[in-house]
Amino acid sequence: MLFRLNRERVDNAKEYVIRMLTRKLHYTEFWALKDVSFKVEKGDRVGVMGFNGAGKSTLLKTIAGVLKPTMGNVKVTGTIAPMLELGAGFDPNYSGAENIYLYGATMGFSRKFIDEKYNEIVEFSELKEFINAPLKSYSSGMKSRLGFAIATAVKPDVLILDEVLSVGDAAFKEKSEQRILDMIEDGVTVLYVSHSTDRIRKLCNKAVILTKGQLVASGEVGEICDMYTEMVNSK
């Protein structure tokens, strides 16, 4: 994934033309991810580790289809449920109930599917009394609970998690973690980004380490986690 980093952001036509004429349209190239190549088998749970800015989120976004790789390709068989950020696609002026349909549609669910899952979503999010209130009156915890409930209503083949397991209060956290664990039990493939080796050891069977956009290690979760701990300590 190649990003062109402009030294200064040029987003108006006048500047663009002036710079083009004076040949000052500089940018430095920056590879957020380069030569990252790995394969995940069905049912694998892969933990993705790396320091800030190593390219973890870029990797997940590329796999989810949000970003298109500059070179190379990503091949996914089956349905993906990306849980990169819960609630992208919520409309604050809509009620909770309307947002279930709107967000579900954004995730590519059909109307029939949401109709079927509607009660389950409401129940899981514990928002029954507030479901007809506008979303703008919700607390951020309530919003993410609703988001989590909708996003996990589907049984995907591949689940992409970007540290979203920490949703809501302690009780809800446990409930949401249980739901993820249930999915894993059903044999879902997981890509999980976290800084916590403990969590990765608990959830994953394989792991990879990214450093400055490059894949430096991949393998069994135990040895990779040890390696990462060493990297953190030696930094």
Partner 1 sequence: MAFKVYTDKFMKYRFLLRELVIKRIKLQYRSSVLGVLWTFLQPLLTMIVLTFVFSMVFGKNSAAVVNYPVFLLSGRLLYDFYSQSTKRAMKSIRGNASIIKKVYVPKYIYPLSVVLSTFVTFIISLSVLAIVIAFFNIIKKDPVPVTPAMFFIIVPIIILFVMCLGIGMLLATLDVFFKDVENIYDVFCTLLFYGTPIVYTIDKLNFGADSWQVNLLKINPLYGIIDMFRAAILHGDEFMAFLDINSLIYCSVFAVVMLIAGIGLFYKFQDKFILHI
Nearer to partner 1, 12 or 28 (CB): 12
Nearer to partner 1, 100 or 207 (CB): 100
14 binds partner 1 (CB under 8 A): yes
Q: Find the part of the chain contacting partner 1 (CB under 8 A) among 46-54, 87-95, 178-186, 201-209.
A: 87-95
CA 103/CA 150 separation, integer angstroms: 7
CA 18/CA 201 separation, integer angstroms: 54
Site for partner 1 in 102-131 (CB under 8 A): 102, 105-111
Helix (H) or strand (E) holding 107: none
Residue 91, both tokens = 């409309």
Nearest to 213 by CA among 28, 62, 9, 27: 62
Could you say which of 18, 20, 74, 88 contacts partner 1 (CB under 8 A)?
A: 88
CB of 178 to partner 1, least distance (A): 25
12 binds partner 1 (CB under 8 A): yes
Nearer to partner 1, 76 or 181 (CB): 76
Q: To 5 degrees, how large is the angle CA 131–CA 152–CA 207?
A: 145
CA 153/CA 114 separation, integer angstroms: 9
148 binds partner 1 (CB under 8 A): no
Nearer to partner 1, 108 or 219 (CB): 108
- Residues ≥6 apart with Cβ < 8 Å to 5: 27, 28, 29, 30
Contacting positions for partner 1 (CB under 8 A): 3-4, 11-14, 16, 64-68, 82, 84-85, 88-89, 91, 93-94, 98, 101-102, 105-111
